Amino acid sequence: MMRVTASKVGLLEHCQYFATPEAVWSDTASAAADRGTRFHRAIALYINGVPGLPLSVEDDIREEFRHAKKWVDDLRAAYPDAELHAEQAFAWNPETDEADIIPAAERDYQAGHGRLCGTADLVVVFPAGMKNVLVYDWKTGSGEGAGPQLRTLSLMAARAWKTETATGAALEVTGAGVKEVAHEHHDAFALAGIAGGLSDLLAFIPGAEPRPGTHCGELYCPARATCPEVNKAHVALVPEQALVRKFSTEVESPEHAVWMMDRIRLVEAACKAIKDAIKAKVPEGGWLLDDGSKLIESTRDMPRFDKNKALALLKQLGATQAQIDSLTYVWKESAGLKIVGGPAAAKPKRTRTKAA
């Protein structure tokens, strides 16, 4: 079974080690991930026509579900002849550039038989004669970085339904509404380019070495807590045990600074994964310790300013568009250190052969 899936193609663009057979994945969970899973399950059940919704939706996702439900209803009204497929799984063959639909209610990627698999939260399929397919992915967090996943799912859907083009987008859903981001339309040439790029990335997996960086934490690498580079970084944190370079406030060179930045980010990602694993183990009500104290997961209320409601109120009070635009200003703040430019990584050359 191929370990990488469409949701991890973005990570695959930075590092292929996590997809190798020797990489050890850690099962971690968090309250945010659980909340997102429950939202995805609820809206998929609604799309598939399961009775009893939204009354059975949990309170903490009710507002998001209400907005998503209205968005789906509007979509159905806009495309009354289209078919809506929720939680649709695919399996794509990089050798033949063909994809099959995995006909399972759950994401049974074993049915992919070693091909690249992925699941689209929502696919809109039009009647025969219309050569486009719409692919959507719900995001209870930011969807701005969903491009690699959406491009992969768009390719899979286009190949599975044999359409010439595909359109993908992420749907950011919050208590304020649904916002479409990362919208991309792909013609036949773009889809062929996506297929070639995926084939090249998958060819990098055998024998890949870890490449630490910001992607370890930002893209939730499943091997970040067990990656060999983490152990090396832990050793390097103790100066007397550092064999070649060490962590220090004394920066020896630009290369030394970059080396330390990569290891710091990797250790931070590993620590977050460990913290998530601890949170997943703490039972409801807390963990009683031998000294009588208790380990609990605390929560706090975080007030949020709703920009959309504020703009609606301004317009209701008579503000002109020019007055509203004048409220926008730009400021600069540090976004952290990063590497730009430099030599491009070599890509393997492959010849795709059509299966007989």
Q: Final residue of a domain: which of 282, 298, 314?
A: 282
The letter for the amino acid at 133 is V
Tell me what pLDDT residue 355 has. 43
Does one domain contain both 224 and 191?
Answer: no
- Is 308 part of a structural domain of the chain? no
Would you say residue 18 lies in a domain? no
Residue 348 in any domain: the answer is no
Same-domain pairing of 187 and 49:
yes
DSSP states of 287-300: EE-TTS-EE-----
121 with 249, same domain: the answer is: no
Q: What are the tokens at 72?
A: 């789906």
Q: Is residue 305 part of a domain?
A: no
Say if residues 160 and 100 touch (Cβ distance below 8 Å). Answer: yes
Is 278 found in the same domain as 157? Answer: no
Q: What integer pLDDT is reported at residue 36 of this predicted model?
A: 87
Q: Strand pairing of 133-139 and 166-174?
A: parallel
- Residue where a domain stops, chosen among 282, 301, 328: 282
Q: How many helices (H) and strands (E) does the chain have?
A: 10, 8
Q: What is the mean pLDDT of residues 142-160?
A: 94
Residue 353 banded pLDDT, cuts 50, 70, 90: very low
- Same domain as 234, residue 126: no
- Residue with more model confidence, 36 or 349: 36
CA distances from 299 to 63, 174, 296, 306, 331 (A): 20, 19, 10, 21, 32
94 shares its domain with 131: yes
Percentage above 90 pLDDT, the chain: 40
Asked if 267 and 119 sit in the same domain, the reply is no
Tokens of 22: 């020797």
> What is the tally of structural domains in the chain?
2
Whether residues 272 and 173 share a domain: the answer is: no
Residue 30 lies in a domain: yes
Q: Tens of pLDDT along 160-209?
A: 999 999 999 999 998 889 999 999 999 999 999 999 999 999 999 999 99
Tell whether 51 is covered by a domain.
yes
pLDDT at 53: 59
Report the mean per-residue pLDDT for the chain. Answer: 82
Domain membership flag for residue 150: yes
Task: Give the CATH number of the domain where residue 122 resides.
Answer: 3.90.320
Domain that holds residue 238: 215-282
Which of 180, 203, 226 is at the close of a domain? Answer: 203
154 and 272 share one domain:
no
**pLDDT top residue among 123 and 106:** 123
pLDDT on residue 57: 82
Q: What is the pLDDT of residue 170?
A: 95
Quick check: 170 and 122 in contact, CB under 8 A? no
**81 domain-assigned:** yes
Same domain, 242 and 194: no
| Residues 191 and 49 grouped into a single domain | yes
pLDDT band at 328 (very low <50, low <70, confident <90, very high): confident
Are 119 and 150 in a shared domain? yes
